[in-house]
Amino acid sequence: MVKIVKGAITLLLGLGLTFSAVYAGGNSAWWKKAGAPYKGAVLQGIAENTPPGQFAGEVLAKEFESLTGIKVRLENTSWDQMYDKAIKDMEANSGIYDFVYIEQDIVYSYLDRDFLVNITQSLADNPNLVAPHVNMNDFTTFIDYFKDAKGDVFGIPMEAFLKVYLYRKDLFGAADAKSGFQKKFGYALAPATSFAQWRDNAEFFTAYCAEKGMECWGTTVQGHTGHPASTYEFLESVGPSFGLYNWGVTDDFHSCVAGGGSLNGGRAKGALSFWTSMLEFAPPEALQSTWSEVASTFAAGRAAQGWVYGENAAWIASNKEKSLVVGKVGVMQPPTGPGVLTQAASGNGYIGYFDGGAYGIPHSSKNKEATLLWLQFVAQSEVQADWAAAGGRITHYSTYNDPKIKEMDQVADGYFTLMQNTGYLYAGAPMFPFHGAGRAAIDPFIYAALAGEKSPSEALDGACKALDKVMKDLGYQK
């Protein structure tokens, strides 16, 4: 009996040490030594409540603490609150947070306002804190978004993913659906490669589901009429896929056609018209849907196709506890308008949004050195595979080759392969320091178009004027 108990304890200890050792990159001793001067410190961070954020808070933080004795408290909260709290803390220099989530689209504003610590410089100034086994070259080009003009890093990427086209393989593969679609539209049913096909699919499946008494509709629409998520879907996904790049803003900060911009141009209006017309075939919750609700809608089997953020694609495709469509999810590159793919391939445009974020250190942090250790911990290549499997995100080249991810890729219908092979066609948000203010000016017009209070044309005519006013008031437009 004693032998059995001793054996069990040894096994458990061994497993625990192995687990720690794996996440420690085989460098437990280094982490323990580096963390010793800061043992007992508590790092407070704030981020968006997403699967990658949850993994960081619930798994990586615990591992880090067990190795270094430094506690990490990650406050995963809503997107709105994350921004509000982080920005207020940094503006007031109150030092509440030691690290903050930096969404890709807001990094330019943070850099412009000098909110963040220069991580490259800090590590150069503190060589004893540099984790020798962390390979910064393993980061994908996504890290470039968090660098300044000199190439210094201000944020360590913790998530990066594409917004992709998801479709229901079971619905598209149903024999009666195929024959019904062929009969109605005169061509074979298939996931959308054009917007006309998207529309036909949406119309068909809305009727198909209604006939069969199923609670499903033809397409998702991220169309909340009171939340910026809808503006983002337009500016970052629908717009670019129609050929509207960088919000239609010129280098001298004009967005209206009259000033040389294109926010109210033909492509933009075409995009908004298409997108708002999809409401007819979207579930009733579309007008109250942010990215989270769209993911839930798709996972609940309520849509045949849709644009879905990649961080959700993985769990929708694989998590039986949360998704009703496991094994039924197809992943594809979204459709694009004429010429858009060519422009994107040549570097003169993009087809959609390369989303993601990083952890950065505010100047007001009271535990900068300890936080540098934490950021390097999450930057290790060794932690990326489990993180990617949990959160559908990849920030390191080596993660693509991990067996866990290759296996996950099969389940997620090649989502990771799609990201690896076509990620270069996507782009982050434009480099606008006034990102938040500009988007806030456009918001009500997009909401009004979705609610049918304004036509797409009227909405964009108003939106570009409002955006131009903001850029002028802020001193960007002369």
Partner 1 sequence: MNSSRTAWLLLSPTIFILVIVGLVPFLYVLYVGFFNWMPLGKIKDMQFISLGYNYRELMFDEYFIGSIWRSIKFSIVTLLFELSIGFILALSLLSSFPLKAFFRSVHTLPLVIAPIVVGAIFKLFLVNGLGPVPYLAKEFFDFKFNYMSSENFAFWVLVIMDVWHWTPFVTLTLLAGLSALPEDPYESAKIDGANNFQIFIHITIPMLIPVLVVVVFIRLMDSLKIVDEVWMLTGGGPGYGTRYTGIHIWKEVFEKRSYGYGSAMSILYLYITIVICWFLYSVMVSRGKVDED
Residues that bind partner 1 (CB under 8 A): 84, 91, 109, 112-113, 224-227, 283-285, 287-288, 293, 297, 300, 302, 433-434, 436-437, 439-441, 444-445, 447-448, 450-454, 470, 473-476
Q: Which residues contact 21 (CB under 8 A, 6 or more apart)?
A: 28
Please report how close the Cβ of residue 294 comes to partner 1 at its closest, in angstroms. Answer: 11
Please report how close the Cβ of residue 226 comes to partner 1 at its closest, in angstroms. Answer: 3
Task: Identify which of residues 185 and 476 has a Cβ nearer to partner 1 in the complex.
Answer: 476
Please report how close the Cβ of residue 335 comes to partner 1 at its closest, in angstroms. Answer: 26
Shortest CA distance to 357 belongs to which of 285, 428, 452? 428
Plot region of 339 (φ>0 → left; ψ -120 to 50 → alpha; else → beta): left
CA distances for 446 relative to 225, 246, 420, angstroms: 8, 16, 32
Q: Which residues contact 255 (CB under 8 A, 6 or more apart)?
A: 247, 248, 249, 261, 262, 263, 264, 463, 464, 467, 468, 471
Task: Identify which of residues 183 and 478 has a Cβ nearer to partner 1 in the complex.
Answer: 478
Task: Identify which of residues 109 and 380 has a Cβ nearer to partner 1 in the complex.
Answer: 109
Please report how close the Cβ of residue 265 comes to partner 1 at its closest, in angstroms. Answer: 22
N-to-C CA span, the chain: 83
Please report how close the Cβ of residue 301 comes to partner 1 at its closest, in angstroms. Answer: 11
Q: How many CA atoms lie within 13 A of 447 on its CB side?
A: 15
Task: Identify which of residues 189 and 466 has a Cβ nearer to partner 1 in the complex.
Answer: 466
Alpha carbon distance 350, 52 (integer Å):
25
3-state SS, residue 194? coil
Residue pair 299/325 in contact by the 8 Å Cβ criterion = yes
Phi then psi dihedrals of residue 34, to 5 deg = -65, -35
Please report how close the Cβ of residue 469 comes to partner 1 at its closest, in angstroms. Answer: 11
Task: Identify which of residues 66 and 455 has a Cβ nearer to partner 1 in the complex.
Answer: 455
Task: Identify which of residues 198 and 447 has a Cβ nearer to partner 1 in the complex.
Answer: 447
Alpha carbon distance 474, 6 (integer Å):
69
Task: Identify which of residues 195 and 434 has a Cβ nearer to partner 1 in the complex.
Answer: 434
Alpha carbon distance 55, 62 (integer Å):
10
Please report how close the Cβ of residue 163 comes to partner 1 at its closest, in angstroms. Answer: 21
Task: Identify which of residues 283 and 335 has a Cβ nearer to partner 1 in the complex.
Answer: 283
Residue pair 404/386 in contact by the 8 Å Cβ criterion = yes
Shortest CA distance to 306 belongs to which of 223, 241, 220, 233? 220
Please report how close the Cβ of residue 461 comes to partner 1 at its closest, in angstroms. Answer: 14
The DSSP output letter for 217 is B
